[in-house]
Amino acid sequence: MTESTTSVLIIDDSTRPYLPHLREKTPECSFFNCNQDETVEQALDRVDPEIVFGLHGGRYPAFTHAAALSHPSVKWLHNGGAGIDHLAGWNPEEILVTNSAGVSSRFMAETVLGAILMMNFGFPDYLEQQKLRVWNKLQWESLSTKTVLVIGLGGIGSLVAERLRMFGAHVIGARRSSRPCPHVDEQIAMSDVANTLPHADYVCIHVPNTDETQSIVNAEFLAQMQPSARLINTARGAQVDENALIDALRHNRIAGAYLDVFRTEPLPQDSPFWDLPGVIISPHSADAADGWKSVSASFFAANLRRYLHRETLVNICDPEAGY
């Protein structure tokens, strides 16, 4: 490694799909992988990188990446996903933290829309009938007759709203700021969510995991939903009071839920969610479309070029805000 080379440590199970692209776009950098037999801390000590690019994987789950924040050689950590709740905190004057928010938004939006269409038509019920060889037509209503409340109008929420309106759904969007979103029929403040819940057929959660959003879906929230309504959560498990949701589902206070995230992951084998009627579960994979890591790596490569040219980076995270 020459004196002018910038060292980059990649935290990932395998860099094969995207490493050639990174080397092509930034020949000024030397890239290093975590070895299979070492921890993130050991890799940091071995490489002493200036930059760390972290992608969540089986060997290196999200919480292991936080070690980069305290390593003396690291000046910039780029999180390959959107959420940064696994990073406890940092001094932005000492280290830059960026993320890939928006990169996988279209994947997440596609998953959310697929789940809503599946539940709206009643595919889970038809699958159960198929197992029993039952031929019985079930009544369903077009999505164009439904109202969807999208809580959080960032990159993901905005795309979810846009796609829902293509099917004729009436979309109400809630966000903290007053900045208008062109993809909703109505926009409300977060303080107005409680008044809107009784009118929503589907409620989608798309807010970052911060102190303010912890357990925003609680017993009171669920009690305000229609008995025929369904909850969609692909954000973070901590945003849902799971005991309250289990109780609401068991007593038919809401009709169902699509859940991609949970407070404990993997979801424990004895979790009631596995057997609750009306619940669809996926293993925190709503945005994990084939090739998502390469898409995130391309975003990082563009930011890396900015870094090398001393330009302002995109998606700089604020430790106080939590995103």
Give me the active site residues, please.
236, 265, 284
Radius of gyration of the chain (CA): 22
Q: How far apart are CA 147 and CA 135, in angstroms?
A: 30
Q: How far apart are CA 172 and CA 161, in angstroms?
A: 8
Q: How far apart are CA 244 and CA 232, in angstroms?
A: 15
Catalogue the E-assigned strands of 34-75: 51-54
3-class SS of residue 32: strand
Mode of pairing for the β-strands spanning 202-205 and 186-189: unpaired
3-class SS of residue 206: coil
Q: How far apart are CA 217 and CA 214, in angstroms?
A: 8
> 147: part of which helix (H) or strand (E)?
strand 147-151
Do 273 and 233 meet the contact criterion of CB atoms below 8 Å apart?
Answer: no
Which residue do the tokens 């200036």 mark? 50
CA dihedral 154→226→128→270, nearest 10 degrees, is 70
Q: How far apart are CA 15 and CA 132, in angstroms?
A: 45
The CA-based angle 30-34-37, given to 5 degrees, is 145
Q: Residue ranges of the alpha helices (H) in 122-241?
A: 123-131, 155-166, 193-196, 219-223
30's torsion region: left (phi>0), alpha (psi -120 to 50) or beta?
A: beta
